[in-house]
Structure 1
Amino acid sequence: MRSFSSAVKFFGLLIPIIAAPAFASGLISGQELDTQIRQKLETIGLSGTPAVNPKRQFAACSSDLEISPLFGNWKTVSVRCPDEGGWQIAVRTRIEAAEPAAGNKAAKPGQKSRKVGLANPPRGGATQDEAKAMLHVAALSRPFKRDEVITPDDIIMISVKKANASGMFPQGDDLIGRKVKKSISAYRPVYARQLFMPWMITAGQEVQIEVEIAGIAVSVLGIAEENGQYLDWINVRNARSGKRVNAQVAGPKKLTISTKKY
């Protein structure tokens, strides 16, 4: 009972504001959420087994749920109720079908698909041993200055010796959305030290804080007081009451509270 009452104190009057309409208009079950995610995946040629508890209940949403990919792929999706004061969760899809190769773009009708090319492909006469000693790593197609953000169109792959690849990025997708800390030349390997740490939540950012109470997912607007990576525990305060609590980073702009911690 202590964990329940502590969560109630933190969320305050939000519970009657959110939960009451949910009971009036019905609830969305985890099973229904699972079905909608599967249907969304099917529209893009994928299939999966969403990691959703079928018994979990969510507040009803008067608008259609918005389902979109997180982290640049469909392995994890964001499910959002766009209603005012609505909720948002991140769900692992456990997709079974292969996604399009990283760096490829969907081709328009009548066009061939474009792949990320190698800036310096191995020479045709390279020996098998020489080829094994090389590694493809990410580079940029143009010079970058501090605070610029890398997009998929900026990324190319170049070939370097494996022995020199420490701190580089063999997966080009790992650069998407990263902010540059030091100037980077074009067609040169990108090093981790040249980029800012990719915090999922940053101090001062508005976030949604969610807790499950009696089977109902309740959320409230909060302000993060620390930077945090995925699954980190950070301090956050209720934007309305100012009460501070420790919550876990569950996705972009989303934290969850475990009632077991109270």
Structure 2
Amino acid sequence: MKLRALALALLPMGAMAQPYADGLDHIEIASLVQTAMAAEGMTGQPEVSEFRRFPACDTTPSVTNRSGNWRTVELRCDSPSAWARAVRTSAVMPQIERHDPRTAPLGEPVVTLTESLSKGTVIESRHLALKPIGQGTLEGLMTDPENVIGRKLMTNLGEGRPVLARHLEISWLVTEGTPVAIVFESAGMSILATGIAAENGQRGQIIAVRNTGSDRLIKAIVRERNKVAVSTKMN
């Protein structure tokens, strides 16, 4: 409710008085998302196709993030009919403050369960929370809820337990030998290139990809189906 109130306060006065009776176009969707992000001090842009439209809404839709991650936001409306839609963004997540271990022994936040789940459960955002763990290896641990949401558990897992890659059903978004789109991310800019996957990869996994333009083998993070991302610090 606090986020929604802030978003409404930043909208032009005319927009508050006019319900979205004809639905929302891509400009209105982007404006709502940008307003909500700005209210929380987030930087980045919504990724909305010019052809995208949302259903009609009698009020201004609420905008919330998923599990504290602003790279995916959700717009919701209750009337005239209830609906919810997700929008991707290029939000830059703030760096985690490192505390003096002598006063606050916090480690890297990892994905944990908010409740006990049984084998075969498809994980939703409400099942997850980010909690810090003690210093040590992060091997197998999941640090981004977006890489866990929608996947199926391969074992029973208790409340508060960290989610490991081996707990999840394998879901290859990239397979060895297939063409991939490579997004080079640097200083708020994105450059697209083409490549060939050198190995299989699940969402969030770092894999080897051959850039077809330079014929160079590089490391990249799997983002979506046949799409990987490279940051300046990775290679």
TM category, shorter: 0.3 to 0.5
More helix by share: 1
- TM-score, length basis structure 2: 0.42
More strand by share: 2
Higher RCO (CA-CA < 8 Å; seq separation 6+): 1
Task: Mark the structure with the bigger radius of gyration.
Answer: 1
